[in-house]
Amino acid sequence: MVPLSAWAGFHVALFVFLALDLGVFHRKGRAIRLREAAIWSGVWVLLALGFAAGVYRIQGAERGLEFLTGYLIERALSLDNIFVFAVVFSFFTVPAALQHRVLFWGILGALGFRGVLIAAGAALLARFGWVNLLFGAFVLLAGVRIFFHRPEEIQVARNPVLRLARRLLPVAADYQGAAFLVRGPQSAWLATPLLLVLLVVESADVAFALDSIPAIFSVTRHPFIVYTSNVFAILGMRASYFLVAALLSRLRFLSAGLAAILVFIGLKMLAEPWYRLSIGASLLVVLLILAATVAASLLGPAAPSTLPGDARAARKENL
């Protein structure tokens, strides 16, 4: 059991970093340049590796490897989130200066939802061992679905959360700076398009969490390791969005690689009653799949862009 002080200390450190991020380094909305995105991505990777070293020292080598493997799986699967975020930002023509703010609040909400999902998953696995097989089947099917899924088929306008928000919320005609809500005529509150973007980003992460959380339980059932590896992966995803989004056209085999990882994890979970693959071997397989995916993508020609061509017209039509 991890003591309550460790949970509290982790969250205090987390909120300090988040407060510094939004309140100091990005207090004023501005576009994030590639150099800055690379630096912040490196910072979060180093923090994750430092945390892994701490886990290794305090809880042993096995827990340290579990954290690293879970972190790597989550970071890999988060690449699909980045593509969806890029599509959403293009659809709504979100100004570059506002994208960081949306990702900050969107991922902050994702942390809370994933915490609830991890707690529920851990409780189910502790009480019903057969749930692991159910998770394995779910992850395997998710991998097959992603393999046959084409990125250009993403239809932002059909997002159920967005459609519900349009029905329930009066929406301002255009962005009002970094505000999510503004006063309209007769002092009535209006949602800005930025709030709709935030809702779509949140709903997209919920969908991805339903795939990634069961996957990480294939590595460990230790709630603290599952949760902290998720947190570091999500925060790293936010920082690296501005870096990776520029390279998406080069990663043409990304979906196939992510599908292969999920299929491997699903099969690993289904085989556990008869054969349990070591954490080190699992980490090696995931690394090899990622390396093969990146190498095949970079050696081949860039894929044509799948982002909406006339996003501004689409947004005005669908608000």
Tens digits of residue pLDDT in 243-286: 776 666 677 788 888 889 999 999 999 998 898 888 889 889 99
Range of the domain at 120: 30-150+205-318
Any domain includes 54: yes
Residue 23's pLDDT is 60
Average pLDDT on 120-135 reads: 88
Residue 255's pLDDT is 82
What phi, psi does 160 have (nearest 5°)?
Answer: -65, -35
Any domain includes 135: yes
- Band (318; pLDDT cuts 50, 70, 90): very low
- Band (313; pLDDT cuts 50, 70, 90): very low
Any domain includes 85: yes
Residue 239's pLDDT is 74
β-pair partners for 191: 171, 181
Residue 268's pLDDT is 92
- Band (312; pLDDT cuts 50, 70, 90): very low
b/e sequence 197-207, b meaning 16+ C-beta within 10 Å: bbbbbbbbbee
- Taking Cα atoms as reference points, which of 293, 284, 60, 319 lies closest to residue 165? 319
Q: How far apart are the first and last CA of the chain?
A: 49
**Token code pair at residue 136:** 């394995």
Any domain includes 73: yes
Any domain includes 229: yes
Q: Over the chain, what is the mean pLDDT? A: 82
Any domain includes 116: yes
Whole-model pTM? Answer: 0.83
- Band (66; pLDDT cuts 50, 70, 90): very high
**Token code pair at residue 107:** 């991922």
Any domain includes 160: no
**Token code pair at residue 13:** 């450190």
How far apart are alpha carbons 49 and 70 in whole angstroms?
Answer: 12
Angstrom CA distances, 282 to 9, 73, 164, 288, 295, stand at: 30, 10, 41, 10, 20
Residue 248's pLDDT is 67
Any domain includes 19: no
Residue 152's pLDDT is 52
Q: How many domains does the chain have?
A: 1
